[in-house]
Structure 1
Amino acid sequence: MSFKIKMTTATMAACIAFAAAPASAANILFPDYEEFKSHTVTGTGFNAELARQYQTMSAYEYQEMYDYIDAETYAERGMMAEKDITPAPFQPEEWDIDDPAAMKELQAARIELLGAMQKGAADIAPAQAANAQAKYDCWVEQQEEGWQTTHIAQCREGFRAAMIDLNEAMMPKKAEAEPAAPVAKIDPPKLPPRVELSRQVIYFDFDDASLTPGAELKIRELTASVAGLDDINVHVEGHADRAGPSDYNKALSEERAENVRNALIANGLPTSKLKRMLTDSEGESDPAVVTADGVREARNRRVEISVTGFEDKTASSGPANVASAE
């Protein structure tokens, strides 16, 4: 059952009646929102930061989106946080989310967020940790509604950006060295050039962006091969064949790349060790096999995954093999 509809019959009736009620009725039907909306939250710890995040979200849902139920929900969570009772990130399974891929992505993201919390994120970087949790809850709530694709994307990308900021904030700071006597200037050693450490090509069925069992296996193998690496770049690039309109193929290749990216994260790609992760799409413009327009070609329906880093960190592992066509 949806998180939103776990309400008493009386509350549901009150919500229906609210549309015809005067604005002053908010303190009767949505008391937590009314009490919390103008309250000044003090403090700088994680719960205080989280309370302010929820306060902003509650006001937005009520005043801009006319979503009174979610406004009340965020107000309740904000009041809990201000009392130093930390609300856990939303459980996506408790929300009515129909898209299996979106559910899997949300579950993986929650694991990533909780992993950071277990490493002390709330104490080390309270503002960044609170922002990450708030953006995650926003993503879950918008994904259940399902129709405001722009808002879903904003919350999802906001969460991803917040996690990058959180991981950076949690990195150990270098201790300041004591002033030392002047020494002769020595040029720092040059880092070796980045090289491709691992590569996979994932193939897709015609007019389809879903991952085959063979593709999922290749993604798990690649994820395992880079699990011990640091300071890596990951490039995920989607492609399509020339059957169908070019703009459609562009969107299809983008969906394929996004599905592969999500699968990498869901299978444990160490995002805290990433220097950069880039996802893009080429549509039908960069075929592996050149064909005439309108021709189906299995080798062009693909996503290429490239992992680059420093060769001396992978002496024992070696690059992964390129996947064969599914």
Structure 2
Amino acid sequence: MAKRYMSPLAVLMSATVLAGCSNLPNSLDHGGNPFTQPFNYEKAQNIQVQGNDFKSALIREYQALSTKEGVVWSDWFDSDFFARKAIKISESDGIIGPEDPANWRYSEEELVQFAQPRQDLLAALNEGVGDFPLEAAKAQASFDCWVEEQEEGWQNDEIAKCKQQFDAALAKLQNVIVTKPQATEPLDMAKLYTVFFDFDSAVITPVGQQVLQALVEDWGKETAAFELIGHTDSAGSRTYNERLSKRRAEAVKSFVASLEVPEGKMTTQGVGESALAVQTEDGVREAKNRRVVIKVKQ
């Protein structure tokens, strides 16, 4: 929704004009209502959540978004929207999912940018809300933040910020899902860390750097050895993918070495597309398959 900074008189005049519009209730219900915002905002902020389950975490995320829109930006429309979403979640026995951009004011061409990210988000939420509720809530709320800011379309810094937060949150959620030990695996198995890569790239992303920094913080610089296994998706030839997977493993080794881990503590290999995390047909781009898996050996 476009940011609206209106005086009380302007609000009253707008309400008078809009009162004759037959679709006014539906418009206000979706975009928020500046007249009910103070009441919904207060009600939403008064919701007491103590746990770290998905529902509680999600309410906190929307409470924060409502505060940002109303208190920081004086955008009462979207503050009310996020407040009512927090209330709806608190009163629901089920799961309230992320926004569908098709319900917002986007053209068919503009909707394309959200299609794959939302599909990836829904897949990650389906797997992660139970075991990783905090990561799942952050990913959903930051997606809705992106949808809302992108529709307004004028605060480029805020659009970029929400989009970056969503990308980072989704990557983190996908990472913890992929590296979750299976019930059939022994309890003393080596701990795994995973760094994901952009398509046809061996450049470590900022999120990947955070994963590797956490690796070193968790295990120290001298006490553990690391096996770095590079992977690709099935797009491209097998020969090219094997080379790319080795480059990814070497890139991770170089970055970890820059954190003062001896190179002799690390071994690398590239297996190309031979061990897909997500099974796909040949030639398919799949973000979860573009990775380096780090096995920690003590």
* Contact map agreement 1:46 1:129 (CA 8 A) in 2: yes
Instruction: Spell out the pairing of 1:199-218 with structure 2 (5 A cutoff).
Output: none
CA distance in 2, matches of 1:32, 1:234: 53
Distance in 2, Cα, partners of 1:189 & 1:148: 43
Structure 1 unmatched runs, 5+: 19-25, 179-187, 199-220, 236-266, 277-308, 310-326
**In 2, Cα distance between equivalents of 1:103 and 1:234:** 35
Task: Identify which of 264, 273, 277 aligns with 2:289.
Answer: 273
Among 33, 36, 49, the residue aligned to 2:44: 36
Alignment partner of 2:153 out of 146, 154, 157: 146
The answer on whether the counterparts of 1:132 and 1:163 sit within 8 Å (CA) in structure 2 is: yes
1:257-291, Cα deviation, whole Å (9 max, x unpaired): xxxxxxxxxx9632222227xxxxxxxxxxxxxxx
**AA aligned opposite 1:90:** E
- The answer for the alignment partner of 2:192 in structure 1 is none
RMSD: 4.3
Contact 2:43-2:87 at 8 Å conserved across structures: no
For the structure 1 residues 93 and 10, does the alpha-carbon distance in structure 2 shift closer, same or farther, using more than 3 Å as the test? closer
Residue of structure 2 in register with 1:87 after alignment = 96
Superposed displacement of residue 40, structure 1: 2.5
Distance 1:62-1:29 versus aligned 2 partners, 3 A rule = closer
What is aligned with 1:165? 172
Q: Residue 187 of structure 2 aligns to which amino acid in structure 1? A: E
Do the aligned residues in 1 keep the contact of 2:37 with 2:80 (CA within 8 Å)? no
User: Measured at CA, do residues 270 and 56 of structure 1 come closer, stay the same or move farther in structure 2, by a change above 3 Å?
Assistant: same
Matched residue pairs, number? 197
Return the TM-score normalized by structure 2: 0.54
TM-score, normalising length: structure 1? 0.50
2:247, 2:146 → 1: CA distance? 24
**Is residue 59 from structure 1 mapped to residue 70 from structure 2 by the alignment?**
no
CA distance in 2, matches of 1:189, 1:68: 51
d(CA) in 2 for partners of 1:73 and 1:224? 48
1:39 alignment partner AA: I
Deviation, structure 1 residue 37: 2.1
What's the CA shift for 1:79? 1.5
Task: Give the fraction of aligned pairs with identical amino acids, expressed as a percent.
Answer: 24
Alpha-carbon distance in structure 2 between the residues aligned to 1:189 and 1:11: 55
CA pair 225-87 structure 1, distance change in 2 beyond 3 A = farther
- The structure carrying a bigger helix percent of its residues is 2
Change (3 A) 1:111 1:232: farther
Within 1, Cα distance between the matches of 2:237 and 2:37?
Answer: 52
